[in-house]
Amino acid sequence: MNARLTSRWILTALMASLTPVATTLAQAEKLSVERMFAAPDLSGATLRSPQISPDGRLVAYLRGAERSKDRLDLWAYDISKRQHRLLVEAARLAPEEKAPSAEEEQRRERQRTSSLSGIVEYQFSPDSHYLLVPLAGDLYVYDLRAKPEKAVHRLTHTASYETDAKFSPLGHYVSFIRDENLVVYDLTTGKEQAITHGGGGVVSFGTAEFIAQEEMARTTGYWWAPNEKRIAFTRVDESPVPEVERFEIYADRTQVIKQRYPAAGSANAIVQLFVAEVASATSVPSGTSASAAAPVQVDLGSNADFYLARVNWFPDGSAIAVQRETRDQKSLTLLRADPTSGSTSELLSEQSAHWVELNDNLTFLGRSRQFIWASNRSGFQHLYLYDWTGKLIRPLTRGEWQVTGDNDTHGMRGVDEDRGLVYFIANAESPLERHLYSVSLADESVPMQRITTDSGWHAVAMSGDARTFLDTFSTPDQPPSLTLRSATGEALADLVPNKITRDHPYAPYLSDHLQTEFGTLAAKDGQTLHYQIIKPRNLEPGHRYPVVVDVYGGPGSQRVRKAWAGYPRGNEGFFREYLAQNGYVVFTLDNRGSGSRGVRFETALFHHLGSVEVEDQVTGVSFLRTLPYVDPARIGVFGWSYGGYMALMCMMQAPDVFAAGVSGAPVTDWKLYDTHYTERFMGTPQSNAEGYARSSVMDHAEDLKGPLLIMHGMADDNVLFMHSTALFKKLQDLNTPFEIMTYPGSKHGLLRHAQTGPHAYMTVKRFFDRTIGDRTIGDRTVVDRPAPASPQSAGTEGR
């Protein structure tokens, strides 16, 4: 019996054992799209953004309100008392939460938290005495030592929106951005210091520009020195960026928005880095301004066309570590900057024939005067140990696997210098799993140790001293549990066991829960492709079922994983389950170009997006056609964002393979998308004109045959609505029929919002019901749709 059949047998046995239990746990109900968005959360008491306090006494977290799962309150778990308690209820503190400012709205959209309200972020003070809580545009501090009724202190009460708030490293200040300027609040005196002046319009201070937030995972534009004497900050000038006019169409009005949008091949914002002495700013009463000594500009080189990727301080505050990326993204340089003069010197440089991946793995070691750096130079992302002069000491990890978190995020989790150990997340066991590992800093002969043991997906947040960690663990059949563990993996406290007992929100739906099967296929170049498949229960002998290929397929992303359906991306997993429960086979495949698989796999799409990705999805369909329960004539494809682009390219490049498609918020012409993302994979339109033409949906539109539904938010500021309107015009000119569903006032993440998500998902379902779904006449299932021709390429079967 091979491994794949063995795993299927085990999963089948497991589900068989669960099903009768479910009927005794709760009254069985049918999963619905409406229930996916309702409270309480189907995944159970999942805790958002858990953090261990610096003193190790508390675990703070955000949790949805009982009657509004997307309105978050602040809670804490006392480790010694083993008690949960509500700290700040958002609805009580701000009963009428005002709409976020334009800057904050854009920041949340970039961070994919725009569907949430209440308290969406918080921070412990370094001494663990306080929590900083931004809410409804103002800032509050919660005193963990005070009685609950006297614990909340309001710092700001202004008409402006304070964003990106932080405690300073020693806890004496709170810093934030107001009206595009950097401000520091002295917690001792209650006075403010204006670090910058003149922000507004095309110039901003201390903020991350659009490209940094959307594509570079840099969400801030200022950084405190460890001793609080200085603060580094950006000055962003967007005047070179082309200004586009776009229409945000709402139900009752239309707004003309002038947006500085850096499309591929056009100019980026000018980003400069400065350092100011905090002590030189004159303390003044809240609400007034101050003049400060002239800041020092950091020398980032004579070529202004670069990206400011990352900024960190050396632990002793003697220097700043600046990561500077070239415009073509083939070179990343780590600079050491003198904060007193602004002069810089090179510590190291990474080069690539394709692109250099950005990450947040840079970690400084104060005692040994070393730092840890991550690189893909071996073909896989691994950790390397350097001294502070930039001299390589040795690789810390190696192998044909990646140090990686969730979807190519950083894998570093902590360093214990006393014990000489580095902790990190990796996929060494399987690309479909994540585990916590440790490796020795000093002794190369000591083998790497795996700390988490249960097979599945582990997300880890470690304490500052790397002695304990929070382990969020899930599998396709077990919703996320949260356990506090020692650094050796020993369970110290079960914060959220999250077993599906009678009172669990998912209990009524457990009897219909369908197993997820996993397998592999071979791409044309021999690389391994991972897939997952969910089938309807009790397949009828001789009946062939329609298929929905759920696709993303874009760089840096991973959809096939041994994790719970609702974690970490919410309802998209539940929607796959819902489709399968309603008679569809649901298939997901991570094509070449997807994330966390190494350089060769991820760069296969370089300079020709929409090529190998479609080829691999067709390989997946060729495998599906070999299955006796699949109807080869009724295979549809659905995706959003890059997945929307993929759905279009599949429908147009393989019209005889895919019978129907739904494309949400698609990029249709890469010349219209932003610089950093597009040029990383495609170069510029000027240098790769042929590649841009081949990768454009417009170049393939005349080959569309099957039914197509295009969906888009009419206020999308990421993939602009003009991508879809351009395609509308192209298809109309070709006299090609298609369907549209547009959402007034909605942005790119409309599937996550309770106001639009249910309608959008049901629109997808109804479209597939009409185009490829079974028809029921009386008690008979009728299939009367013509079969498309066989694909040109048979692909490869699963193994």
Catalytic residue among 530, 723, 748, 753: 748
The DSSP secondary-structure symbol of 332 reads E
The DSSP secondary-structure symbol of 405 reads -
Question: Six-digit token pair at 673?
Answer: 């998308």
Q: How many helices (H) and strands (E) does the chain have?
A: 13, 46
Q: Please give the Cα distance from 464 to 218 (Å, whole number).
A: 21
Contact 298, 341 (CB under 8 A): no
Q: Please give the Cα distance from 222 to 211 (Å, whole number).
A: 16
For tokens 């239309």, name the residue. Answer: 254
Q: What is the CA radius of gyration of the chain?
A: 26
Q: Please give the Cα distance from 93 to 564 (Å, whole number).
A: 33
Among 137, 133, 136, which residue's Cα sits nearest to residue 161?
Answer: 137
Q: Please give the Cα distance from 133 to 218 (Å, whole number).
A: 21
Q: What is the DSSP string of 364-376?
A: EETTTTEEEEEE-
128 tagged catalytic: no
641 tagged catalytic: yes
The amino acid present at 647, given as its one-letter code, is: A
Q: What is the DSSP string of 382-394?
A: EEEEEETTS-EEE
Q: Please give the Cα distance from 695 to 669 (Å, whole number).
A: 8
- CA torsion 647→652→657→663, rounded to 10°? 20
- CA torsion 139→144→150→153, rounded to 10°? -20
Q: Please give the Cα distance from 189 to 173 (Å, whole number).
A: 10
Q: How many Cβ atoms from other residues are within 10 Å of residue 234's Cβ?
A: 25
Q: How many Cβ atoms from other residues are within 10 Å of residue 255's Cβ?
A: 11
The amino acid present at 357, given as its one-letter code, is: E
Residues 6+ apart with CB under 8 A from 249: 714, 715, 721, 742, 744, 745
Cis-peptide into 568, omega within 30 deg: yes
The amino acid present at 317, given as its one-letter code, is: G
Catalytic residue among 43, 125, 128, 641: 641
Catalytic residue among 70, 406, 477, 716: 716
316 tagged catalytic: no
Cα angle: 134, vertex 137, 140; to 5 degrees: 35
Contact 494, 483 (CB under 8 A): yes
Question: Six-digit token pair at 374?
Answer: 């991550």
* 3-state DSSP assignment of residue 152: strand
Question: Do the strands 708-713 and 660-664 form a parallel or antiparallel pair, or are they unpaired?
Answer: parallel
Question: Six-digit token pair at 2?
Answer: 């091979």
- Annotated catalytic sites, by residue? 641, 716, 748
